[in-house]
Chain A
Amino acid sequence: MRYAMAVDTKKCVGCGDCVVACQTENNVPHGYCRDWIVENVAGTYPKLEIELRSERCNHCENAPCVRCCPTGASHIVDGGIVLVTHDECIGCGACIESCPYDARYPHPEGYVDKCTFCVHRVTDGENPACVDVCPTHCLHFGDLDDPNSDVSKILKNRKWKVLAPEAGTKPQLYFLT
């Protein structure tokens, strides 16, 4: 099993519903977030192009955060989801420094926190909260090993990219372009 997410940059309107849904679902402390919206404006006026991306942890296959964790609190579970065990984390911040996507943050309680792909929902067969709430249905989630999953089908039919592939992290967050 290999969980992955595809973000349709052509459909995303940047409303931020995914951000709020995540904060509510996962009780994210005030002022913090596990997912966020990037508006990438390119070109020179008047020829401007905008790309909207709903970003979060890339649940990398070759995760630098897991590699550098001194206690093993950062680990990869079934399906390739990268998680942090809170009471093994010493809050040294090595994983935060090692993430090319700045997807992790120090929780006010001390441990390091991040997107879990809503592991509690996903193991019950549901979608992550951000995927379910998206009003334009621009987020696709599923198992890459299953050719009939939502995410497998859309990645077969559309062009896509990943962020900073040169970092060698093998990210599992795909952006449809």
Chain B
Amino acid sequence: MKEELFVSGRNIPHIDPYLHLWTWEIPLYLFLGGLAAGILFFAGYFYVMHKERDMKATIKWAPMLVPFILVIGLGALFLDLHHKLYFWRLYTIIRFQSPMSWGAWVLMAITPLSIVWAASYLKEVFPKWKWPFAWLDTFEAFVIKYRKAMAWIMMILSVILGVYTGILLSAFNARPLWNTSILGPLFLVSGFSTGLAAIIWMSKSKYERKVLTRIDLIFIFVELFFIIHMIMGFQAGSEAAHEAAKLFLGGEFTVTFWVFVVLLGLAFPATLEIFELRGYHVPVWIPSFLILLGGLIFRFVILEAGQITRYLY
């Protein structure tokens, strides 16, 4: 039986003929949030593992970027709001059922933490740096004393931040493409992989690059596994889930997803990283750049495609 729907009397901006309310701000934020989570997690991890001397880019250099990354992300989130002057309402209440609410609170905690972490290394990275007030020196000494505790908190918060970027979407049961519980772990590993790529790009030590590249390869393979798992889940799901998977299996996002995300964003850079570990010379920026770009495109694709999918009635 063929069926056709006509909807008369409505052509609402951002909603009709299909939902396109969230545009570039949200995927950009999801990317930056995952990137920041990745950098902070490994900064914390390798600090706790006493690698401060060998892993300078991981612990000291890359975290310098995080406050900027998070502030740009928060700016994008703010731009996305339609009722901007009321944004402070987010911070008058904690609603555990709403991922956006606890995500906003996690950001409120991790952004200052990342600033303090980066600031505590300013003197080491820029030897000429001087604090303008004496109390800042006192505060710096205090922070340096409790760095280990900070590293642990940073690791926990960055996992929550990374998972949250996926759960934000998977909580929407009205959009079958997003409504899969694998999206949380998938965005977490993808975010961590982009974080690693950024650190590898900044690193000048061969040892550090080798350690990080090995970890990154594991993350990329887990990510590929999760992607296949996600599509298998859709194929085994309801009609609405089939329709969602179709967008990637012959539908309008097929090329963007398989060529730009899976092939150029994951498989190709992974191959380059393997070659590099085997001793071949690969310019370090190529795999890193591809992973970062792939991660960004991935979030744009998931966001745009997800808004098209819906229940069929």
Q: How many residues of A contact B (CB 8 A)?
A: 49
Rank and list the top 6 A-B pairs by shortest CB-CB distance, nearest first: A91-B82, A91-B83, A110-B83, A70-B101, A100-B174, A70-B100
If A164-B311, A167-B174 touch, whether A106 touches B82 (CB-CB below 8 Å) is yes
Flag whether B99 is at the interface (Cβ < 8 A): yes
Chain B: CB-nearest residue to A47: B1
CB distance from A100 to the nearest CB of B (A): 4
Q: What is the bound-complex CA distance between A98 and B100, given in angstroms?
A: 12
CB distance from B137 to the nearest CB of A (A): 39
Q: What is the bound-complex CA distance between A44 and B85, given in angstroms?
A: 52
CB distance from A49 to the nearest CB of B (A): 9
Chain B residues touching A, range: 35 or more
Contact residues in B for A97 (Cβ distance below 8 Å): 19, 21-22, 172, 174-175, 307
Check B174 against A92 for contact (C-beta < 8 Å).
no
If A41-B3, A64-B174, A100-B174 touch, whether A69 touches B21 (CB-CB below 8 Å) is no
Contact residues in A for B138 (Cβ distance below 8 Å): none
Check A41 against B174 for contact (C-beta < 8 Å).
no
Q: What is the bound-complex CA distance between A33 and B83, given in angstroms?
A: 19
Give the A-binding residues of B (Cβ under 8 A): 1-15, 19, 21-22, 80-87, 89-90, 92-93, 95, 97-101, 104, 171-175, 238, 307, 310-311, 313
Q: What is the bound-complex CA distance between A33 and B9, given in angstroms?
A: 8
**Stretch among A82-90, A119-127, A137-145 lining the B interface:** A82-90
Task: Describe B's contact surface by its main secondary structure.
Answer: loop
A1-22 interface mask toward B, CB cutoff 8 Å, 1 = contact, 0 = none?
Answer: 0000000000000101001000
Q: What is the bound-complex CA distance between A99 and B5, given in angstroms?
A: 18
Check A164 against B1 for contact (C-beta < 8 Å).
no
Give the B-binding residues of A (Cβ under 8 A): 14, 16, 19, 31-33, 35-44, 64, 67-73, 87-94, 96-100, 102, 105-106, 109-112, 163-164, 166-168
CB distance from B84 to the nearest CB of A (A): 7
Contact residues in A for B238 (Cβ distance below 8 Å): 166
Contact residues in A for B104 (Cβ distance below 8 Å): 70
Interface centre among A33, A88, A93 (most CB of B within 10 A): A93
Check A67 against B97 for contact (C-beta < 8 Å).
yes
Chain A: CB-nearest residue to B101: A70
Q: Which of A44, A72, A88, A89 contacts B1 (CB 8 A)?
A: A44
If A33-B10, A102-B19 touch, whether A68 touches B100 (CB-CB below 8 Å) is yes
